[in-house]
Chain A
Amino acid sequence: MAELADAAHAVAEHGTEVLTVQEYITHHLAYLTYGRFPDGHWGLALTPDEAMEMGFWSVHVDTLGWSIFIGAAFLLFFLYIGKKATTDTPNGMQNFVEMIFEFVDARVAEGFNGKNPLIAPLALTIFVWIILMNTMDLVPVDWITGLASLIGEHVFGLEHMAFKIVPTTDVNITVGMSLSVFALILYYSIKMKGIGGFLSELAFHPFGKWMLPFNLIIEVPTLLAKPISLGLRLFGNLYAGELLFLLIASMLGIVQLPAHFVWAVFHLLVIPLQAFVFMMLTIVYLNAAHESVHDH
């Protein structure tokens, strides 16, 4: 963070602080993007504008890469602990992993009434994966991003290479997950109730068949709101947290150290809470998808 303060001072000397703070934040909010240029060839976008022009046919290499790396690391670590675990008195790490396991298992047991052995592993995957992705927010904002920029500049010749390390501050990542959950809601609704049952739930609730249009007006947005709120809640919380870290880093000079600390402590609450909320809502939504409503 000392480097950061130096950078801020250097910025101040050049007399263009406001613009540079904006540049700093813009740089930190940009993604390392690989995609199709308007002329048709594929490559890394060198500026945020280029990334913009790529539109849909591009991939955020940094956030998706971290997301996959973190998910794989978590699963392989759990697998490693599970392989050497004993049924006798568990030691440190096994204890820790079992604690998480039992926590998730208990939440699924109380939140999910159906009999689907796939829901608990899903909840575990979501919970731990999101917690770890969120935790990347606690890595000081310039450590890995700064290092990547240096490597990008000196090894690959990319000036101001963007490199975002918190996957959940990328709306693509959170919505990617919430849409996957939405797909599961649709799949299990249709599987458990049949296509007719699912559609009748949309059309004949809550007011019965004579009020069908009203029912649709109520039920369809309710259904569609699920993935959107699920994805955007997580994104919004983490994006705001990240943005505040960036503002502190770019504007407070040396005072940023206690300010970072205070915000990080507060953020420690947000990180598991948002992961927990995402997991619980997934469980609740899928529970509703498995249960049919018998009120008429």
Chain B
Amino acid sequence: MNFNLTFIGQSIAFFVFWWFCQAYVWPLFANILEERKKKIADGLEAGARGQKDLELAQAKATKQLKEVKVQAATIIDQANKRAAQIVDEAKDHAKEEGQRIIVGAKAEIDQEINRAKEALRAQVSSIAIAGAEKILGSSIDQAANEEMLSQLAAEL
């Protein structure tokens, strides 16, 4: 068992390797692990944030859906009202139109009646004269009885 210079050589190697390790090897892995730790932490945080965002978005979507339903209901309501209104208007319009047609028809009928009356009136005198002539057996001077005849026609 020789105790010799070898142990000094080993001591020198020991310190050189230690220096090399702390200068070049250790920092590499320390940095990598540190970075990965950070990455994982960031990833987890992002995941949590995503989850939260999703929840918020869902809540928002639900809320919007509700609003939209309310709006849709309002619109349908309005549409129904409007439809009823249009029907009512149409009804009124139709009534008016019918009234107008009736009024027009009445007026036409009155006119027809008047016209017929006029025609009758025109013919009454001659019928009266013809009747009187038949009764009297002679002709009546129309001009002489003009006043009486027109009075008669007016009474009709």
Contacts and interface: CB of A to CB of B under 8 A. Distances in A.
Co-assembled chains A and B = yes
Contact of B28 (A82, A170, A180): A82
Contact of B22 (A51, A57, A121): A121
Contacts of A59: 4-6, 9
Contacts of A75: 17, 20-21, 24-25
Instruction: Report the interface size class on chain A.
Output: 35 or more
B36 to A, nearest CB: 5
Contact of B11 (A33, A88, A179): A179
Chain A interface mostly: helix
B2 A173 contact: no
Interface string A48-59: 000110111111
A56 B3 contact: yes
B35 interface: yes
Instruction: Report the interface size class on chain B.
Output: 20 to 34
Contacts, number: 125
Chain B interface mostly: helix
Interface of B: 1-11, 13-15, 17-18, 20-22, 24-26, 28-29, 32-33, 35-36, 39
Interface of A: 31, 33, 35, 51-52, 54-60, 63-64, 67-68, 71-72, 75, 78-79, 82-83, 85-88, 97-98, 101-102, 117-118, 120-122, 124-125, 129, 167, 170-173, 175-177, 179-180, 183
27 contacts: A33-B4, A52-B2, A55-B2, A57-B4, A59-B5, A63-B6, A64-B13, A67-B10, A72-B17, A78-B25, A79-B28, A82-B25, A82-B29, A85-B29, A85-B32, A87-B39, A121-B26, A125-B18, A125-B21, A173-B6, A173-B10, A176-B8, A176-B10, A176-B14, A179-B7, A180-B14, A183-B11
